Homo-oligomer: A and B are copies of this chain.
């Protein structure tokens, strides 16, 4: 079963102090804004409140010297939104980082499992595997 092949999952965050400047949720939101053409559309697509999406955009915009998202009205009142050139660059840079990280992890995993093979069948204690 293809499903039973070991998979590497990588998460990359960029923090500064208590702020998360970049992370999977924020990057998903950037991509959703680019696709939907508005913050409200992106929020709906991500099953997130408009307020939360808007606050995440505010955080991203305030973390970078140049805003990543621009709104048609410049404010909160709905209307369209799109990524700035800077926003596109940051999203692409993040995705490139993630791809290379996953590739490196995959190569390591290959070596690790060659030296320490997995058992032929999946682990028996299904109930305990969700959060570690």
Partner of A119, one of B10, B52, B65, B123: B65
Interchain CB contact under 8 A, B18 and A9: no
Would you call A77 an interface residue if the criterion is a C-beta within 8 Å of the partner chain's C-beta atoms? no
> Roughly how many angstroms separate A96 CA and B116 CA in the complex, as a whole number?
15
**Given A101-B101, A101-B105, A119-B65, also A59-B16 (CB < 8 A):** no
Would you call A47 an interface residue if the criterion is a C-beta within 8 Å of the partner chain's C-beta atoms? no
Interchain CB contact under 8 A, A124 and B16: no
Residues of B with C-beta under 8 A to A127:
55
Q: How many copies does the complex hold?
A: 2
**Given A93-B116, A123-B21, also A14-B109 (CB < 8 A):** yes
Interchain CB contact under 8 A, A58 and B115: no
Question: Which chain B residue has the least Cβ–Cβ distance from A62?
Answer: B123
Q: Which residues of A contact B (CB under 8 A)?
A: 1, 3-21, 23-26, 29, 52, 55-56, 58-60, 62-66, 86, 89-90, 93-94, 96-97, 100-101, 104-105, 108-109, 111-112, 115-120, 122-132
